[in-house]
Amino acid sequence: MSRKRPRPSRVVVVFDFGGVLSAGHDPIDGIHALLGGDRETLATAIWDERPAYDRGALTAAEYWGAVAAGAGVDALTPSEVAELQQADDRYWLRLDPESRTLLHDLARHETPLVILSNASVAFGEAVRRADWFEAFAFAVISGEERCEKPDPEIYEILLSALAHESGGVARPGDVVFFDDRADNVAAARALGIDAHRWERNDPARGEAPNPGVAMAREVLAGRGILLD
């Protein structure tokens, strides 16, 4: 199908995942229940190797093997690796209730939505299987791209994927992006993306409102995006 004129520009909303859409930030309980050992050593193992796992430098077996070593477990079977990955996926895939409502409100008005996350290849697969993922056009996952935020290259990958989707050019200013890390926001802004720092979700906030969601609603309303 050929188009004589480019489509009118449309704002795309891009979300980071951890700290923004996910309800929690510390998967240790589920991992500790499976591996046992000293919690502190285990936590160190989980987080020390995570950046390498999230940029695709370690396989699931290598990452979970290193985590298990931190719990004093020296070898994992493939099914144990899968079980650890599933426990971790289950933990992270729980959406913050207010974030979930915001996604519903955006999806109802057919606002194009994208995820841009520093996460492993395995987690990327889990994200795409989640029931709520149908609200999203696609996800850019650092492990798959072997490049992570705040490297400018991953934002270029996002912009070219958006251009490909629309059959035109993606204007960075038409992309509204939310992330809980200041360096990720600054790198996106440097490329002209309309990026905003989202205050990290507090899973213990109880009935208190989610400040990230409140900020995002204000920004999105300011961009003329319908939310009611």
CB contact set of 186 (below 8 Å; sequence gap of 6+): 150, 195
CA 26 from centroid of its chain's CA atoms: 15
Q: Which residue's CB is nearer to Mg ion, number 80 or number 132?
A: 132
The residue range among 13-21, 62-70, 82-90, 169-177 that interacts with Mg ion, by the rule CB under 5 A, is 13-21
One-letter identity of residue 88:
D
DSSP calls for the chain: ---SSPPPP--EEEE-STTTTBS-S-THHHHHHHH-S-HHHHHHHHHHSHHHHHTTSS-HHHHHHHHHHHTT-----HHHHHHHHHHHHHHHHPBPHHHHHHHHHHHHTT--EEEEE---HHHHHHHHHSGGGGG-SEEEEHHHHT--TTSHHHHHHHHHHHHHHHTS---GGGEEEEES-HHHHHHHHHTT-EEEEPPPP-TT-TTS--HHHHHHHHHHHHTT----
The residue range among 18-26, 34-42, 90-98, 127-135 that interacts with Mg ion, by the rule CB under 5 A, is 18-26
The CB-of-73 to Mg ion minimum distance in angstroms stands at 29
Q: Is 16 in the site for Mg ion (CB under 5 A)?
A: yes
Q: Give bridge partners of residue 104 from the DSSP assignment.
A: none
The residue range among 19-27, 60-68, 74-82, 148-156 that interacts with Mg ion, by the rule CB under 5 A, is 19-27
Number of residues that bind Mg ion (CB under 5 A): 4
The CB-of-181 to Mg ion minimum distance in angstroms stands at 6
Site string for Mg ion, 190-209 (x = CB under 5 A): --------------------
Q: Is 18 in the site for Mg ion (CB under 5 A)?
A: yes
Q: Which residue's CB is nearer to Mg ion, number 18 or number 212?
A: 18
The CB-of-217 to Mg ion minimum distance in angstroms stands at 19
Q: Is 54 in the site for Mg ion (CB under 5 A)?
A: no
The CB-of-21 to Mg ion minimum distance in angstroms stands at 9
Q: Is 27 in the site for Mg ion (CB under 5 A)?
A: no
Identify the residue among 12, 13, 15, 19 touching Mg ion (CB under 5 A): 19
Identify the residue among 141, 180, 212, 220 touching Mg ion (CB under 5 A): 180
The CB-of-162 to Mg ion minimum distance in angstroms stands at 20
**Contact between 119 and 126 (Cβ < 8 Å):** no
Q: Which residue is nearest to Mg ion (CB)?
A: 19
Binding residues vs Mg ion (CB under 5 A): 16, 18-19, 180
